[in-house]
Structures are given as structure tokens and as C-alpha cells.
Structure 1
């Protein structure tokens, strides 16, 4: 499935703060913790807990969120389908990065072991 420019723009303008509570709900409903959620966010972005909190408080858009992130060198190993899109086929870098995060949260909620979620080459 190919993304449209409108879809990519909508993702860029969406705030991390608007999606974060959904991530928390999703992982806690499956018995995982906020600490584990932060572990996967930190692994992908290079942010620390204070950075994550600042992005929430400042209602940072995903465009700004990922422009300030230092993407993990193993992020390219995140593959599969999320939200109807095959990650490895996404052409827009920002959309791909947001879907990386969605996929990590999904794997966490599905009970995947942390070692598998935090890919190592």
C-alpha cells in the first residue's frame, strides 16, 4: 500500500503528545509497563526520559520529534506490516520513522521479548 502526500503530511503534523497516551494504554492493557515503553522509545530515538516528557509537554509534532532524534543504527531492521503499511516499502522517511515507533509499541504490547524488540545485528 502506497502512502499519499496528504497522509504523510497528516503524520508530520500529528503531535507525539496526542499519540503517546494511546501507546501507554495499549502496552498497559497487555501487562507491559511505561518503563518498557520508554525503553523502546529511547532505543529508537536516542532520547532520555526528560526528552520524552518535554516532547509531550511541548506538544511536539512528529516532524520535529524525529528531526531531533538520533535514530538507532539498527532501526532499518524493523520490518513488517503496521497500520496496513509494509514498513520496508515506505518511501517517505518521516512516515517510515513513525511506523517504526508504532511497530515497536505493537511488538511490546504483543508480549515480544525486549531483546527481540531492540534489534541487534
Structure 2
């Protein structure tokens, strides 16, 4: 089975879209970064390095310092797809991130977005 195109897309090309979506709804880049850090374990300098390298999504998630175990608590629908049922691991991680950014843009409180196990 061929990989979905998003897996080979650079994270750096989509990152500004996450920020724009959040800022359009009155949220901040810092909140987007906090979500990414919570999900992947990247700190600010590690995230900046991944952006500078234009790492693709598959590598971005594969090299994540610490995938948050509580990410499996993320449920719901993104683009008509139920995130908890996505079988392909990289696509599931991408959908987790999409869902968290959607929640941020909808005004959900950060403590609710960043689930606790």
C-alpha cells in the first residue's frame, strides 16, 4: 500500500497553517507549540530544528522524543475520520495533532486539550 501524500509532506509546510488556524480564532502560536510539545515531547529548540530541516511528517513523528501515552485518550472526528480508528500509525499521529488543533481553534481550554492519563 502506498503512503498517503501527507506522510511525505514537510511538517514545516503545514505548521504555519496550524498557527494561522489558531490565531484566526484568537489563540496563539505558543499554544500550538505547547500542543505539539505535549503530543511529541519536542522542546522549543528541537521543534525549531525539525522545522529548519523541513522534516516530513513520517520522520517528524518517528523521531519524536517522547510520544505522550495520554494521546490515546484523543477521540472524535477530523475530516470525517474517527481518529481512534485510524490503523496506519503515522496517519493516526497526524490525526491526533489535527484534532488537538481543531479543539484549540474551537476555544477549548488548554487543560482539557492536554489530556491527563
Same-fold status (TM-score > 0.5): yes
Return the offset for 1:9. Answer: 2.7
Return the offset for 1:51. Answer: 1.1
**RMSD, aligned CA:** 1.0
Matched, 1:80 2:72: no
Count residues with an aligned counterpart.
116
Matched, 1:89 2:110: no
CA distance in 1, matches of 2:74, 2:5: 22
Give the TM-score normalised by the residue count of structure 2: 0.95
* Corresponding residue number in structure 1 for 2:96: 100
Give the TM-score normalised by the residue count of structure 1: 0.92
Return the offset for 1:110. Answer: 0.7
* Corresponding residue number in structure 1 for 2:114: 118
Matched, 1:60 2:73: no
> Which segments of 5 or more consecutive residues in structure 2 lack a partner in the other structure?
none
**Which of 4, 29, 32 is the matching residue for 2:27?**
32
Structure 1 residue ranges (4+ consecutive) displaced by more than 4 angstroms after TM superposition: none
**Which of 43, 49, 58 is the matching residue for 1:48?**
43
